[in-house]
Structure 1
Amino acid sequence: MALTSLDRKLLGWSAAFVISQANIARLLGPAAPRVAEIQTARSARDYTAILDGMDATETARYRSHYYPDFVHPAIYAVALRTGARRLAELTPLSPTTRKMLAAAPVVAAAGDYVENVVGLHLLTHREHITDATVRATSAVSITKWVLALGSLAYLSQGFVRVWARGR
């Protein structure tokens, strides 16, 4: 089976995602586990404790990840939407499923941008860390992860079925 134009776009955007994710992981280094901790913090006290637990180097690494993470959501949103378009060419998808697969990556990326802006702000302005802000930001983060990973899981199982059927 020859690669279509959409296949090439999907491969390109998927590669861009992997490179972007690897770059963010490289920048974070040992501070990487802090991302998940901060994104799922339940209170101002927890959030502040996580930040206080980082030394100056970890804090600098953590801060540095935000700048490429302002590009990363667009990359994964385009990759997921491109995957959804290609899957729809290969197998029948209901109109509702198509709409969900088109919307979920965009909503996830928007949530990622909100999370990044708030996280960068709170890193510099710790006096703004409140329970309400932390809980709202964590809710946005968790929703982002559910939408992005849910889309990826749906697409993955769909492509596995298409490939298995083709063998």
Structure 2
Amino acid sequence: MTTAANPSSKGNKFANAGAAAGGFIGAMGGSFVPPVNITVNNTKNGVAHGTGRAQAQSLLPAPEFTSPAQVRNYCNTLRAAAVTLSIEVAMGAEIMKSVLAAVPDPEGRAFGSRIRAAKVARKMQRSADALRDAAKDAAACYATFQQEYEEEINRVRHRARKPKQPVMNWAQQ
């Protein structure tokens, strides 16, 4: 359920909820906050609602590295998840910075609210950068695996894929 109050209504303690529902912050600020939707899924997996813990699902496949395909799958899944999370966290950092910049500075300093917001959001941006680096390292991991185990991979590859030679049928003339 989304409740967006009208910022022009007097005496409403949720007067700024319009920003959280996708509106603008401040009349002259020019900051835009995209709409935020929160979805809560209540499942019945033998766990009472509000008590106990549901089993967490991993974003990655099981770390079983018994074949080159499993190594490739794990590295590619890690890379894709890290790239996606990096983009989401970077967007979250920008949203956080714009939302916090609208909070007035308690000392009334010029640009004080922007400076404080940038300090806070910088830490989240560093998290996004670390996730981007994790994606690069996952791709580099598989490339290094291919280089280090090239001989073993090629030995099996040639055995597994014997090309079929066309058979000459001398009876057909």
Q: Which TM-score band applies after superposition, normalised by the shorter structure?
A: 0.3 to 0.5
More RCO (CA 8 Å, sep 6+): 1
TM-score of the superposed pair, with normalisation by structure 1:
0.42
User: Between Structure 1 and Structure 2, which shows a larger proportion of helix residues?
Assistant: 1
Highest CA radius of gyration, 1 or 2? 2
